[in-house]
């Protein structure tokens, strides 16, 4: 199975294993001898390399939301961790070896967002100076005052 001819259909575990093995040989000139699998419990990360077992699990949402190209970037990223760790070289994100190998292979540094993050805000208005204050967490208005004039705060409703 060629990397470029792979469809965007949801992969089976066997197809994912073949893809990871092929990318490993093609871009790293080294075989991938462990297990690659999907893990639906991953939330914000695209993939995870396990130091003890040397297995790699991938978030299926990467393929579902962003397609094959993004998944291939994540596979390359995790294979950088894999091969560098087995060679006893710097495999962490902060290490120069990791950054250089990631750049050489064209792996992705970060995965595109996988979840929609909607932040709601609480709005407060000072009764003395009329200043508006926006906070992610609620504020106890009987305890806190305006930072500019020390006036009393009142919660107001405002759509962002």
Catalytic residue among 13, 64, 70, 78: 78
57 in the same domain as 27: yes
> Per residue in 106-159, pLDDT tens?
999 988 888 877 888 999 999 999 999 999 999 999 999 999 999 999 999 865
53 in the same domain as 99: yes
| C-alpha dist (Å) from residue 151 to 8, 51, 144 | 58, 55, 9
Q: What are phi and psi of 123, to 5 degrees?
A: -110, 140
Model pLDDT, residue 159: 58
70 in the same domain as 129: no
Query: 3-state secondary structure string, 14-78?
Result: HHHHHHHHHHHHHHHCCCCCCCEEECCCCCCCCEEECCCCCCEEECHHHHHHHCHHHHHHHHHHH
3-state secondary structure of 86: helix
92 in the same domain as 32: yes
129 in the same domain as 100: no
> Per residue in 30-72, pLDDT tens?
999 999 999 999 988 999 999 999 999 999 999 999 989 999 9
Do 78 and 47 meet the contact criterion of CB atoms below 8 Å apart? yes
Quick check: is 5 in a domain? no
150 in the same domain as 78: no
- Give the separation between CA 112 and CA 8, rounded to whole angstroms: 17
Quick check: is 25 in a domain? yes
Mean predicted confidence (pLDDT) in 79-83 = 97
Model pLDDT, residue 112: 86
Q: What is the CATH number of the domain that holds 84?
A: 3.30.2010.10
75 in the same domain as 32: yes
Model pLDDT, residue 12: 87
From first CA to last CA, the distance across the chain in angstroms is: 48
> Per residue in 9-38, pLDDT tens?
456 889 999 999 999 999 999 999 999 999
Is 13 catalytic? The answer is: no
Model pLDDT, residue 128: 95
pLDDT reading at 5 higher than 70:
no
Quick check: is 84 in a domain? yes
Q: What are 135's two structure tokens? A: 């906070």
Quick check: is 110 in a domain? no
Quick check: is 34 in a domain? yes
pTM over cut 0.75: no
Owning domain of residue 99: 13-105
84 versus 113: the higher-pLDDT residue is 84
């Amino acid at each position: 199975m060629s990397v470029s001819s792979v469809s965007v259909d949801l992969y089976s575990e066997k197809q994912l294993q073949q893809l990871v093995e092929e990318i490993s040989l093609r871009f790293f000139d080294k075989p991938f001898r462990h297990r690659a699998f999907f893990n639906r419990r991953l939330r914000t990360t695209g993939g995870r390399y396990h130091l003890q077992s040397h297995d790699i699990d991938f978030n299926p949402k990467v393929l579902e939301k962003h397609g094959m190209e993004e998944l291939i970037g994540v596979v390359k990223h995790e294979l950088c961790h894999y091969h560098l760790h087995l060679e006893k070289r710097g495999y962490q994100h902060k290490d120069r070896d990791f950054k250089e190998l990631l750049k050489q292979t064209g792996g992705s540094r970060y995965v595109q967002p996988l979840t929609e993050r909607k932040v709601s805000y609480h709005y407060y208005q000072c009764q003395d100076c009329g200043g508006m204050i926006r906070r992610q967490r609620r504020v106890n208005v009987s305890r806190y005052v305006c930072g500019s004039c020390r006036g009393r705060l009142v919660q107001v409703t405002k759509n962002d």
